[in-house]
């Protein structure tokens, strides 16, 4: 090796050593969820909605984006003791402002608020986070944080194994009495509030014993080594105080109320929740969640979510329906689904098309497996990008694109799972996930019926001809069947990019 090469190698080594992850020290208090009281407004509401006999929980599916946001805001408004919220993303946009304002208003009433957010996308509102964290009734923790005194490039080089693992869980629990668990982050596109693109998504509103399970899981994450107090990550911006944050949020909320979307939220609240219109189905329901130790990348004593769910598929007798925004079956997954088909279990998958998928590498690596899946007997449906032209409640988004963000599956017209879990290697092996499994033939058949009714007009059914040619079939506006010999969505550039990404060895990270 030449002398100058030795010098370069030595310099690079010294730089990496100097930039290696530091040992961080900070104070953190262990806290726990507060047992539900029978005297709160929400407790009385839960009793009016039914009686949790035989350990059953009350559940209600939330398909509509506006209703999903209204549900969260109403829970915050009704809370009297505690709010625990755990999210992968909390956007700095009008819906994020409404959500943050609802938490602040609850804290002002004396409600203890614990907010746990993955640190993937929080830096744009560090000042607001730090200010709200000064409230005596609010504590904010960041999961697996990106330390602000270290650049992302250096972090990627020296600490990739840690920062690659994210908390994808999504839940909000009020007074340990009602909870919302599902696929939605806090952001405009998840609540039908964006003009450019909106996501079809699914949540579960629940009461009863399953709420305690959600709170127990939240406590485990909140008190884990990966949940770091915001004040230990973010420098205190003394020029932006709690009072400033309150004034700013009030201003942003007033602006949001004046919009068409704000009016739509008010109508949604009146139509769906006024006069006792809310109802729950009381059924067996169970929370399944990854242990927070999964974020360490080591196998712990607690099983990961994927292994907990596997028995439901192994015992399937008739059919399996999978709805997954990000669907990346590896060779093992293709073989597993083919084996289900071979023993008489029909497998149907609904996922994103090229144009409706917001993560190009995910689509590229899914597309590589289409022929193998179809040869194995699996039915494939891809969401059309024009599937959700929103023209209701006085709002017209015109050419707003659609995307699928739901994560759900059903087994044998009996079990229905709704949560944050995608059918991809990242959800299985890397990120932490959660969801509620509902044991209800009535609710499951009802949900699948609505899905099957929507598939012809809102998706492309992908089929395989004898010669190995893929075809895409959908229903036109007049009810006629339209068939395409080549992928009907996406630009030429989209196809070029997808083709390039499909050859990159990144499947295990998707």
pLDDT tens sequence across 202-258 = 999 999 999 999 999 999 999 999 999 999 999 888 889 999 999 999 999 999 999
- C-alpha pair distances (Å), 53 with each of 58, 94, 191, 205, 269: 10, 40, 33, 18, 29
Whether residue 82 is predicted with pLDDT greater than 80 in this model: the reply is yes
Range 287-503 classified under CATH 3.30.870.10: yes
Whether residue 11 is predicted with pLDDT greater than 80 in this model: the reply is no
Whether residue 398 is predicted with pLDDT greater than 60 in this model: the reply is no
Angle between helix axes 242-257 and 260-273 (nearest 10 degrees) is 80
Per the CB < 8 A criterion, the answer to whether 419 and 202 are in contact is: no
Provide the 10 A C-beta neighbour count for residue 22: 10
In angstroms, rounded to a whole number, what is the distance separating the alpha carbons of residues 422 and 407? 6
The more confidently predicted of residues 497 and 141 is 141
Per the CB < 8 A criterion, the answer to whether 106 and 73 are in contact is: no
What pLDDT digit, counting tens, does each position of 12-38 carry? 443 444 455 567 778 899 999 999 999
* Whole-number pLDDT of residue 143: 98
Token pair, residue 9, equals 């190698």
Give the residue numbers annotated as catalytic, written as ranges.
168, 170, 175, 405, 407, 412
Token pair, residue 122, equals 């929080």
What pTM does this model have? 0.93
**Rounded to the nearest 5 degrees, what angle is found at the Cα of 146, between the Cα atoms of 142 and 147?**
100
Token pair, residue 235, equals 């420098």
Q: What H or E segment, with its residue span, contains residue 437?
A: strand 434-439
Mean pLDDT estimate for the chain: 90
**Rounded to the nearest 5 degrees, what angle is found at the Cα of 199, between the Cα atoms of 441 and 139?**
90
Select the CATH number that applies to the domain covering 55-273 from these four: 3.30.870.10, 2.70.150.10, 3.40.630.10, 3.40.190.170: 3.30.870.10
Q: Please tell me if the domain spanning 55-273 has the same topology as the one spanning 287-503.
A: yes
The more confidently predicted of residues 344 and 477 is 344
* Whole-number pLDDT of residue 55: 93
Token pair, residue 85, equals 């919220």
Give me the helices (H) in 201-315, please: 209-222, 230-233, 242-257, 260-273, 305-314
What average pLDDT does this structure show over 309-320? 96
How many CA atoms does the CB half-sphere of 237 hold within 13 Å? 19
* Whole-number pLDDT of residue 335: 97
**Rounded to the nearest 5 degrees, what angle is found at the Cα of 216, between the Cα atoms of 210 and 220?**
145
Q: Are strands 319-324 and 459-464 parallel, antiparallel or unpaired?
A: unpaired
* Whole-number pLDDT of residue 387: 78
φ and ψ of 43, to 5 deg: -65, -40
Whether residue 274 is predicted with pLDDT greater than 60 in this model: the reply is no
DSSP letter, residue 18: H
> Lowest mean pLDDT: which of 308-317, 387-396, 491-500?
387-396
Count Cβ neighbours within 10 Å for each residue of 299-336 and write b for 16 or more, e otherwise. Answer: eeeeebbeeebeebbeebeebbbbbbbbbbbbeebbeb
Q: What H or E segment, with its residue span, contains residue 455?
A: helix 441-458
- Residue ranges per structural domain of the chain: 55-273, 287-503
Per the CB < 8 A criterion, the answer to whether 204 and 418 are in contact is: yes
**Rounded to the nearest 5 degrees, what angle is found at the Cα of 280, between the Cα atoms of 87 and 59?**
40
């Amino acid at each position: 090796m030449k002398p100058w090469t030795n010098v370069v190698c030595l310099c690079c080594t010294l730089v990496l050593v100097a930039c290696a992850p530091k040992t961080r020290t900070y104070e953190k208090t262990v806290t726990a969820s507060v047992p539900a009281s029978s005297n709160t407004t929400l407790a009385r509401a839960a009793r009016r909605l039914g009686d949790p006999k035989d350990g059953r929980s009350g559940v209600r599916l939330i398909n509509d984006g506006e209703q999903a946001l209204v549900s969260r805001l109403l829970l915050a408004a009704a809370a009297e003791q505690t709010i625990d919220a755990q999210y992968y993303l909390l956007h700095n946009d009008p819906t994020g402002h409404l959500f943050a304002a609802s938490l602040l208003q609850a804290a002002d009433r004396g409600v203890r608020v614990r907010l746990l957010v993955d640190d993937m996308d929080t830096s744009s509102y560090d000042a607001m986070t730090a200010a709200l964290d000064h409230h005596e009734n609010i504590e904010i923790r960041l999961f697996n944080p990106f330390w602000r005194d270290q650049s992302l490039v250096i972090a990627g080089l020296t600490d990739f194994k840690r920062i690659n693992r994210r908390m994808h869980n999504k839940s909000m629990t009020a007074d340990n009495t009602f909870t919302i668990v599902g696929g939605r982050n806090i952001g405009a596109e998840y609540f039908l509030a964006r003009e450019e693109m909106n996501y079809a998504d699914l949540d579960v509103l629940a009461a009863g014993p399953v709420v305690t399970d959600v709170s127990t899981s939240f406590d485990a994450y909140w008190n884990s080594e990966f949940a770091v107090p915001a004040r230990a990550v973010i420098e205190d911006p003394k020029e932006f105080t709690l009072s400033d944050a309150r004034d700013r949020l009030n201003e942003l909320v007033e602006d949001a109320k004046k919009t068409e979307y704000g009016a739509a939220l008010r109508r949604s609240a009146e139509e769906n929740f006024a006069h006792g219109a809310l109802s729950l189905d009381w059924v067996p329901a169970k929370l399944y969640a990854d242990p927070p130790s999964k974020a360490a990348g080591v196998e712990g004593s607690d099983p990961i979510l994927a292994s907990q769910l596997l028995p439901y598929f192994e015992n399937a007798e008739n059919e399996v329906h999978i709805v997954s925004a990000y669907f990346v079956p590896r060779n093992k997954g293709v073989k597993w689904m083919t084996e289900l088909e071979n023993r008489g279990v029909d497998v149907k998958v609904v996922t994103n098309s090229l144009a409706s998928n917001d993560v190009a590498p995910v689509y590229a690596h899914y597309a590589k497996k289409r022929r193998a899946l179809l040869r194995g007997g699996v039915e494939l449906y891809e969401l059309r990008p024009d599937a959700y032209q929103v023209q209701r409640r006085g709002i017209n988004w015109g050419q707003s694109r659609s995307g699928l963000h739901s994560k759900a599956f059903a087994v044998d017209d009996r079990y229905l799972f709704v949560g944050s879990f995608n059918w991809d290697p990242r959800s299985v092996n890397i990120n932490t996930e959660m969801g509620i499994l509902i044991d209800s033939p009535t609710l499951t058949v009802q949900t699948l019926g609505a899905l099957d009714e929507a598939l012809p007009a809102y998706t492309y059914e992908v089929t395989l001809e004898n010669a190995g040619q893929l075809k895409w079939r959908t229903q036109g506006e007049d009810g006629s069947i339209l068939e395409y010999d080549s992928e009907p969505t996406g630009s030429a550039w989209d196809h070029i990019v997808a083709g390039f990404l499909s050859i990159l060895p990144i499947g295990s990270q998707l």
